[in-house]
A and B are shown apart, each in its own frame.
Chain A
């Protein structure tokens, strides 16, 4: 099986560990990821805030490049996924001049939903060597991946289940909680830090109250927000994993603690305590 891969800017910088874990997991599952050759930024919040035209055109270029390759697109980043889908929607309305040949008919998957399809869950199950027994986690989806449902196609947008299913397949104990799809405030996180922090802190607090030992995410910005806010807190550490990191952990024969060296909140002590790291 072959898919076009649209990594997004964060995976080259801040979320390089996410990129590496995705690579390992898909290799193991035997799914080929072909990086869209000359991909460019989707424009994120900035583009749609300042100019709708740009928010349609920037992803459209990537869609056009992917249509040339002909495979479905899979996007690991929630915002990239949302912007690609939005752009497709607008392309079909035919109200923008798109300088590239693009129909908008190609399928755009977000990575969690792609891996949570029954067939994929089955092949994940077959490859698990190290079940994450006893690891209590909550899954945090954030806003861009599930909302607005008309764009993202999620029907269970209030209580999404894709990552829960994957984490449970990997053997973790998944806890239900109420803040799955609450925004972490990433779009104002730099310019108006206090707003971003107040939102992130509440999510972290609620995850801890629910009894989670770790948070599982799929968006680079959710991860960095939830992870970095704990930098000065010596009280209680709740590591924030990408869901592919957990999969990589449960697939691997030998686990290297270096995989987690980009985390601010070191997950190694927790994994040691659970007997997942020797």
Chain B
């Protein structure tokens, strides 16, 4: 009986000095929400780690795929949205395909990425988040995505140029760009889609603008 602590504040301080969270209302709420929105049976996970073992990039992640599921079960939303995992995920669907309990792990990670994009939390992998954002911006401008325009727009984003000079990506990109241009692989101009207006409307609607 001694071990059961009824006061949550006391429970958080219990054991280690690190603040702990309990499975309570908040945990259930987040789990329910995630299950409802993704349609994935998250409660069915028994932590066999098959997702993590099949993931080709799990060693680049701070929270491994099977831990992501566990964190959702515990309701640790903030930790998940702050993680690098949600941005590193390639959406290659290995985890989903090989889960013995048919938990749609990739969809859960993708949904968390959606949530992070719509929250005020700064993404841990900023360069990846900015890249996706740039892709959509280029897309809505011409209805289709031109590689040259995409890379230009990406470099013009704050901090990206600086970061890419520092990790020598700029030099590589320039050399690659020149070779691609010589081989005819880089088209500076490609036709636009004739449905730009409709695409723009979808884009602004999704961002919550009333049109």
The interface residues of chain B lying within 8 Å CB-to-CB of A190 are 131, 151, 154
**Are the CB atoms of A47 and B195 closer together than 8 Å?**
no
* A119 on interface, CB distance cutoff 8 Å: no
Tell me the chain A residues, 1-28 only, with Cβ under 8 Å from chain B.
9-10, 12-14, 16
Given A147-B96, A183-B90, residue A16 in contact with residue B106 (CB < 8 A) = no
Q: How far is the CB of A272 from chain B (nearest CB, A)?
A: 19
Per the 8 Å Cβ criterion, residues 41-89 of B in contact with A are: 56-57, 60, 88
B147 near A13 with CB under 8 A, answer: yes
Query: Which listed residue (A16, A37, A40, A224) contacts B199, Cβ 8 A?
Result: A40
Q: Within 8 Å of chain B (Cβ to Cβ): is A31?
A: no
A49-B132, A50-B117 as given contacts; A191 in contact with B127, CB under 8 Å: yes
Q: In the complex, which of the residues B131, B186, B199 contacts A191, with contact meaning CB atoms closer than 8 Å? A: B131
Instruction: Say which size band chain A's interface belongs to.
Output: 35 or more
User: Nearest residue in B to A65 (C-beta to C-beta)?
Assistant: B195
**Chain A residues, CB < 8 A from B94:** 143, 147, 183
Contacts of B28 in A (CB 8 A): none
Within A60-103, the residues touching B (CB, 8 Å) are 61, 99-100
Q: How far is the CA of A256 from the CA of B60 in the complex (A)?
A: 44
* A45 proximal to B (CB < 8 A): yes
Q: Report yes or no: A46 in contact with B135, Cβ–Cβ below 8 A.
A: yes
Task: Tell me whether A187 and B90 are in contact in the complex, defined as CB-CB below 8 angstroms, given that A50-B114, A61-B195, A148-B106 are known contacts.
Answer: yes
The answer to whether B91 and A57 have CB atoms under 8 Å apart is no
Are the C-beta atoms of B206 and A53 separated by less than 8 Å? yes
A143 to B90, CA, bound (A): 10
In the assembled complex, the CB of A158 is this many whole angstroms from the nearest CB of chain B, namely: 9
Q: Which residue of A lies closest to B60 (CB)?
A: A195
The contact string, 1 if C-beta is below 8 Å from chain A, for chain B 90-134, is: 111110110000001010001101100100000001011011110
Contact across chains for B199 and A58 when beta carbons are under 8 A apart: yes
- The residue in B104, B135, B179, B194 that gathers the most chain A C-beta atoms within 10 A of its C-beta is B135
The answer to whether B114 and A261 have CB atoms under 8 Å apart is no
A51:B114 contact, CB within 8 angstroms: yes
Chain A residues whose CB sits within 8 angstroms of the CB of B152 once the complex forms: none
| Closest CB in chain A relative to B156 CB, distance in Å | 14
Q: Mark A181-208, 1 if CB is under 8 A from B, else 0.
A: 0110111101111010001000000000
Indicate whether A239 reaches chain B with its CB closer than 8 angstroms: no
Residues of B within 8 A of A171 (CB): none
> Beyond A46-B132, A188-B128, is A262–B185 a contact (Cβ under 8 Å)?
yes
Contact A191 B128 (CB under 8 A): yes
Q: Please give, as numbers and ranges, the residues of chain A lying within 8 Å of B201 by CB-CB distance.
A: 99
Does chain A have a CB within 8 A of B198?
A: yes
- Smallest Cβ-Cβ distance to B173: which chain A residue: A190
- Measured CB to CB, the closest approach of chain B to A236, in angstroms, equals 19
In the complex, the 3 A-B pairs of residues with the closest C-beta atoms, listed nearest first: A183-B92, A46-B135, A147-B93
If A14-B187, A185-B56 are given as contacts, then 14 extra A-B residue pairs at C-beta distance below 8 Å, sorted by A number, are A9-B145, A9-B190, A13-B185, A16-B184, A37-B194, A43-B136, A50-B136, A52-B110, A53-B206, A185-B57, A186-B90, A187-B90, A199-B56, A199-B57
Residues of A within 8 A of B (CB): 9-10, 12-14, 16, 37-41, 43-54, 57-58, 61, 99-100, 143-144, 147-149, 157, 182-183, 185-188, 190-193, 195, 199, 224, 228, 231, 261-264
29 A-B pairs within 8 Å (CB atoms) are namely A9-B190, A13-B190, A14-B180, A14-B187, A16-B185, A40-B139, A40-B144, A44-B145, A45-B135, A50-B114, A51-B114, A52-B110, A53-B206, A61-B195, A61-B198, A99-B198, A99-B201, A143-B90, A144-B92, A149-B97, A182-B56, A183-B94, A185-B57, A192-B88, A195-B88, A224-B185, A231-B179, A261-B184, A262-B184
